[in-house]
Amino acid sequence: MQQYSYYVGGEFRDSKDKIDVIDPFTQEKFARISQTPPEELNFAVDRAKAAQKKWQDTEFKERAHLLREVAESIFDSLRTLAELETREIGKTLKESLFVDIPLGADCFNYYAAFLQSLEEESLQSELGIDLVKYDPFGVAGVYLPYNVPVMIFGFSCAAALAAGNALVIKPSEYGSLSILEMVKAIDKLDIPKGLINVVTGQGSDVGRHLAEADIDIISFTGSMKTLKKVALASAQTPKKMICELGGVNAAVVFSDADREAAIQNVLASSFMKQGQMCIGSSLVLIEEGIYEEFVKDLVERTKKIKIGNPFSPETGIGPLPTKKHLEEVHAKVNQMRKSGSKVLCGADPKGYFYPPTILESKEIICEEFFAPVVVVKEFKTSQEVERVVESGISGLVLQIWTSDMGVANSLAKKARSGTVWINTFTQMNSQTPFGGAGRSGWGRSLGRFGFFEYVQPKHIGIGFKPSPVWGWFGV
Ligand code: NAD
C-alpha cells in the first residue's frame, strides 16, 4: 500500500497516526496518509515564515519563473494526478484529466504573465511622490475541499504565491493524494525550502490547529458549516479570511429558451462530478408552459446516464467518496420526501453509488446537496424568479436560459450572485473573477481581483516640500 508523507519545511515526514485511503469504486484500501502532529504543523509555519521573507524580496520576474515551473510540473504529471483524484474521490477520469487538473495548472501560467505585466503605482503631487507597493500578508493557511484539490490549489495558491506569500496547505482528508503527489514534483524545483507546506489529517484536528496557528491570512474553500468552526478556532489570532463556499446555484429556464441547450447544461450542472461541484445546480426553475415537457425530457435523459467505473470513458457518474457522504445525501433526500417532495427518478443508492436524482418540490430549497440530486420547480411569474435571485441562495452562480436579452439582463443585474451565466455554463477561465455573493463567500479568486486579495497595498509618501501640517501650532 502506498504511503504518503506530509510535507513541512521542504521535508517529507510521517507520523505513526495514519488514515487509510479507500478507493470508493472497489472499496479497497490503497494508500495511507499521515495525521500531522501539532508540533509538526508549527514547524511548517516557522519554516514558512523564514521562506516567505526571502520570497517577498524575490523580483516579480523570478517569481513568475517559478510559477511557470509549477504549472509545467503539474502538466508533466497530469495523468498521474488525474488518476489519483479519480481513484480517491470517484469522479470520472475525463473530468480530472481534461478539466480539473489543467484548470488548476493554468492559474500558475496566468499569474506568471500577470506578474510580468504588473507595475506598482507611483503618483506625483505638488508635495512629492507617492508610491503604492504590493506587500504580501505573510503566511497563508489554505484549506482545500475534497472534490477538486489541484484545481483549488491553482485558484488560491497561484495568486497567493504570486503576491509573495508562503503557504501551509490543508487538503481535505478525503482528497489529499494528488496534492501530496504534486508537491513531490514541486520539491525538485529551485524553490525556497518551506515556501510550500502540506499538512494532512483530519479537519477537526489538523484543520483546527492551522486556524489557531500564527499565520497571517486564511484562504478557505469548503462548506459554511466548516467555515464557522475555522472562524471560531481563529478567534484568538484573528486574520484576514478569503472564503469560497457553496450555494444552491439555481438555473432558470424560460419558455423561450433554446430547449436543447438548456437541457444539456442543466444535466451537466446537476450531475457532473456526481453533483459535487461548487458551481453545480441544486434547483432548476422552469416556466409554466414548458414545465411538463422539459421535466419529462430531463428525467428520461437522466435515467440514461451511465453509472459505473469512473475510469471508463463511457461512465457519467462514479461513486461518492465515502459511505458517510452517501448516507448524508440520502438522509436529506428522505427528509425532502417526508416534507412532500416527489422523487421523479433516482434516490435508490447502491454501494457507494448515488444515482442521478430529480425531486419535484413546491418549496424553494435553501441548501446545496453537493451530490447528484436536483430539485425542479415550476414558476409562473418573473417576480417569483426575482425573489429567488435577490435572496442570495444562488450566491455563487446563477444560470439564465432565455432568448430575451432584456429579461436576462434585468435578472442578472438583480441577482445576488458572484457569477451569472446567460445561455451558457462554465464560461470561466483564469482571467475571470470567481467567488460568491451573500453567504456563498467573501473575496475573489482568479483574475486581477484574485491577486489583490493576497496583498496589502502599502503607501510610501516621499515629501519634497513641507508637509501639510508644518507649523500647525505656530510654535
Ligand atoms: P469541508 O467544509 O468539509 O472541508 C473543507 C476543508 O476544511 C478541508 O480541508 C477539511 O479538512 C477542513 N476541515 C474540516 N473540518 C474542519 C474543522 N473542524 N476545522 C478546521 N478545518 C476543517 O468541505 P468539503 O466537503 O471538502 O467540500 C465541499 C464544500 O466545498 C461544498 O460546500 C462546496 O460548495 C464547497 N466548494 C466551494 C468551492 C468554491 O470555489 N466556491 C469549490 C469547491 C468546493
Whether ligand 1 lies within 6 angstroms of the CB of 246 is answered as yes
In the predicted model, is pLDDT for residue 56 greater than 90? Answer: yes
19 CB contacts (<8 Å, ≥6 apart)? 32, 33, 34, 35, 173, 200, 201, 202
Compute the chain's Rg from CA coordinates.
24
Which residue has cell 519545511? 9
| Closest ligand 1 atom number to CA of residue 434 | 40
Which of 136, 126, 186, 187 minimizes the C-alpha distance to 159? Answer: 136
Whether ligand 1 lies within 6 angstroms of the CB of 442 is answered as no
Q: Specify the CATH number for the domain of residue 135.
A: 3.40.605.10
Mean pLDDT of 405-425: 97
In a domain, 429, yes or no: no
Residues 234 and 308 in one domain: no
172 alpha carbon to ligand 1 midpoint, in Å? 7
Which of 440, 429, 432 minimizes the C-alpha distance to 151? Answer: 429
Residues 345 and 262 in one domain: yes
> What range does the domain containing 151 cover?
2-245+436-460
Residues 185-204: tens digit of each pLDDT: 999 999 999 999 999 999 99
| Closest ligand 1 atom number to CA of residue 173 | 11
Residues 249-267: tens digit of each pLDDT: 999 999 999 999 999 999 9
In a domain, 234, yes or no: yes
Mean pLDDT of 119-137: 95
- Give the number of domains in the chain: 2
Residues 290 and 204 in one domain: no
Q: Which of 173, 181, 278, 378 is catalytic?
A: 278
Which of 360, 292, 285, 353 minimizes the C-alpha distance to 325? Answer: 353
Residues 129-165: tens digit of each pLDDT: 999 999 999 999 999 999 999 999 999 999 999 999 9
Residues 387 and 273 in one domain: yes
Q: Specify the CATH number for the domain of residue 309.
A: 3.40.309.10
In the predicted model, is pLDDT for residue 472 greater than 90? Answer: yes
Q: Which of 95, 244, 368, 378 is catalytic?
A: 244
In a domain, 470, yes or no: no
In a domain, 427, yes or no: no
- Is position 368 annotated as part of the catalytic site? no
Residues 233 and 267 in one domain: no
Residues 338 and 216 in one domain: no
Residues 234 and 361 in one domain: no
- Is position 244 annotated as part of the catalytic site? yes
In the predicted model, is pLDDT for residue 367 greater than 90? Answer: no
DSSP state of 445: B
Q: Against a cut of 0.95, is the pTM above it?
A: yes
Specify the pLDDT at position 284.
98
Residues 221 and 101 in one domain: yes
Residues 166 and 88 in one domain: yes
Residues 260 and 238 in one domain: no
In a domain, 471, yes or no: no
Residue to probe by mutation, ligand 1, list 144, 210, 223, 329, most atoms within 8 Å of CB: 223
Residues 236 and 268 in one domain: no
Residue to probe by mutation, ligand 1, list 143, 155, 426, most atoms within 8 Å of CB: 143
In a domain, 447, yes or no: yes
- Judged on CB neighbours under 10 Å (0-12, 13-18, 19+), 116 is middle
Which of 367, 370, 387, 378 minimizes the C-alpha distance to 248? Answer: 367
Report d(CA 443, CA 243) in Å as an integer. 6
Whether ligand 1 lies within 6 angstroms of the CB of 226 is answered as yes
Residues 198 and 180 in one domain: yes
Whether ligand 1 lies within 6 angstroms of the CB of 245 is answered as yes
In a domain, 111, yes or no: yes
Report d(CA 129, CA 266) in Å as an integer. 54
In a domain, 167, yes or no: yes
Specify the pLDDT at position 365.
87
Report d(CA 320, CA 91) in Å as an integer. 8
